[in-house]
Amino acid sequence: MNPLADHFGVHLQELRRRVSVSFGAIVFCSGVAYYFSREIARFLIIPLFQASPDLSTLVYTNLTEAFICYLKISVLVGLITSFPVMLHELWAFVAPGLHKHEKKISYIVVFWATILFVFGVCFAYFVVMPKALHFLMSFTGENLEALPKLDSYLTFVARSSLAFGLAFEIPFLMVAAAKTGIVQKNYFISRRKYFYLAILVLSFLLAVGDIISSVLLALPLFCLYELGLIVMRVFLRS
């Protein structure tokens, strides 16, 4: 038998197991979310009604749109709520050979990565979303009326929250990339200005062109990038 093939087969089997656990967590969380899909939808609609007090209802134009919308929202919420499980499985796969003291640190990293993800989702919903919706709804006037569709709006909110949650994972991704050997430890330091520029562009795109929302997102991302450099020095010290 080829030792290299055996080694690859073991890793492939491990990857399948990790993916299966993550997929099971997504299915379970999505199922629970679908049971509460109406309550989740009402909660997500609140920022829109606050941004446009004259708006009292959303519309849907296809008979199956509401059902598909609730299904999509359930899956997105399932992805968000099952994120800690996926994060743990990812970290366990990319760093299997950790020493005992390193495993304690890895649990801390996973814990704070989960906190950052949750904070990113909350930051999107409570800070950025109201300002972005206020900007987008400000175009209504005497000859222009906004009639948001249920599916489009809820998908926009859920995807934006997921995107912000992932964006706040910068420190974890930096440590994971360096730990697995994808990049050198000084890679993020030497290319700091390019990543800062990328953060500015990403913030502008995620905030749908709203300058205030872009700044509100870019500033914490800059801080998270520097935090990632600090965590790398601690976790990957020689």
Domain-by-domain residue ranges, the chain? 3-235
pLDDT bin (cut points 50, 70, 90) of residue 31 is very high
pLDDT of 201 higher than 70: yes
Helix and strand numbers (H, E) in the chain are: 11, 0
The identity of residue 185, as a single letter, is K
pLDDT tier, 26 (very low <50, low <70, confident <90, very high otherwise): very high
* Predicted structure pTM score: 0.71
Residue that the structure tokens 């609730």 belong to: 70
At residue 24, the pLDDT reads: 93
pLDDT over threshold 70, residue 158: yes
On average, the pLDDT of the chain sits at 79
Task: Give the pair of three-digit tokens for residue 149.
Answer: 């569709």
pLDDT higher than threshold 90 for residue 27: yes
| Tokens 């080694």 found at | 7
Q: What is the pLDDT at residue 226?
A: 86
What angle in degrees, to the nearest 10, is found between the helix axes of 37-51 and 150-167?
90
